[in-house]
Structure 1
Amino acid sequence: MTGPEPPRPDVDLLVAGAGPAGAATAIRAALAGLSVVVVEPRTTPIDKACGEGIAHSAVAYLTRLGVDLPGRPFHGIRYLDSTHSVDARFTRGPGLGVRRTTLQAALMSRLTALNIPVLPTRVGLITQTPTTVTAAGLTAHYLAAADGLHSPTRRQLGVCAGKPGEVRRGLRQHFSVAPWTDLVEVYWSRLGEAYVTPVADDLVGVAVLTSARGTFDSHLDAFPALKRRLRNARPATAVLGAGPLRQHVRSRTAGRVLLVGDAAGYVDALTGEGIAVALRTSAELVDCIRADRPQDYDAAYRRVSWECRLLTASLLWARNRRLLAPHIVPAAARLPAVYRTIVNRLS
Structure 2
Amino acid sequence: MRDLLVIGGGPAGLASALYAARTGLEVTVWDKRAGIIDKACGEGLMPGAITALADVGVNPDGRDLTGIRYLAGRRAVEAPFHSGLGRGVRRTTLHTALRSAAECTGISLEHRIAEDVRPDSDGVTVDGQRFRYVVAADGLHSTVRRGLGLAGRPVPRRRYGLRRHYLLEPWTSYVEVHWAESVEAYVTPVTGDVVGLALLTSARGAFDDHLARFASLRERLQGATPLGDVLGAGPLRQRARSRVAGRVLLVGDAGGYVDALTGEGVAMAVSQARAAIAAIVGEDPMRYERDWHAITRRYRLLTASLLGATRFNPVRRALVPTAERLPGVFSAAVNSLARPS
* TM-score grouping bracket, smaller chain normalisation: over 0.9
Distance in 1, matches of 2:90 and 2:282, equals: 35
Which residue identity lines up with residue 308 of structure 2 in the other structure? Answer: W
**1:252-263 equivalences in 2 (<5 Å):** 252-263=243-254
User: TM-score scaled to structure 1, two decimals?
Assistant: 0.95
1:223 aligned partner: 214
1:242 corresponds to 2:242: no
User: Between the two proteins, what is the percent identity of the paired residues?
Assistant: 48
Task: Give yes or no for the alignment of 1:280 onto 2:271.
Answer: yes
Matched to 1:252, the amino acid is R
5+ residue gaps, structure 1 = 1-8
Would you say the 8 A contact 1:159–1:249 is kept in 2? yes
User: 1:119 and 1:319, CA in 2 relative to 1: closer, same or farther beyond 3 A?
Assistant: same
Partner of 1:107: 98
Show CA shifts across 1:37-84 (max 9, x none).
000120221111000011112112212211131111100000000131
Query: Matches of 1:93 and 1:295 in 2, distance apart?
Result: 34
1:10-49 equivalences under 5 Å are: 10=2, 12-49=3-40
1:104-151 deviation line (CA, Å, top 9, x unaligned): 011000010001001111111012220110214432111000001100
**Equivalent of residue 92 in structure 1, options 60, 83, 102:** 83
Partners of 1:214 and 1:280 lie apart in 2 by 35
Alignment match, 1:117: 108
SS in 2 for 1:200: coil
| Contact 1:72 1:198 (8 Å CA) reproduced | yes
Matched residue, 1:160: 151
Q: Which residue of structure 1 aligns with residue 332 of structure 2?
A: 341
Letter in 2 for 1:340: S
| Per-residue Cα deviation, 1:163-193 (whole angstroms, up to 9, x for no partner) | 3321110000000000000000000000310
Runs of 4+ residues over 4 Å off in structure 1: none
> What SS does the corresponding residue of 1:51 show, helix, strand or coil?
coil
Check conservation: 2:124, 2:133, Cα contact below 8 A. yes
**Larger deviation: 124-133 or 143-152?**
124-133
Deviation for aligned residue 1:228: 0.7
> In structure 2, which of residues 256, 279, 284 is the aligned counterpart of residue 293 of structure 1?
284
- 1:55 maps to 46
Map 1:56-71 onto structure 2 (within 5 A).
56-71=47-62
The CA deviation at 1:313 is 0.2
Q: Hey, what's the Cα distance between the residues in 2 that align with 1:330 and 1:34?
A: 52
2:182 is aligned to 191
- Determine the structure 1 residue equivalent to 2:193: 202
Other-structure match for 2:305: 314
Gaps of 5+ in 2: none
Q: How far apart, in 2, do the equivalents of 1:196 and 1:282 lie?
A: 28
The count of corresponding residues between Structure 1 and Structure 2 is 338
TM-score by length of 2: 0.97
How far off is 1:24 after superposition?
A: 0.5
Give SS of 2:222's match: coil
- Partner-residue secondary structure (3-state), 1:337: helix
Residue 249 of structure 1: how far off its partner (Å): 0.9
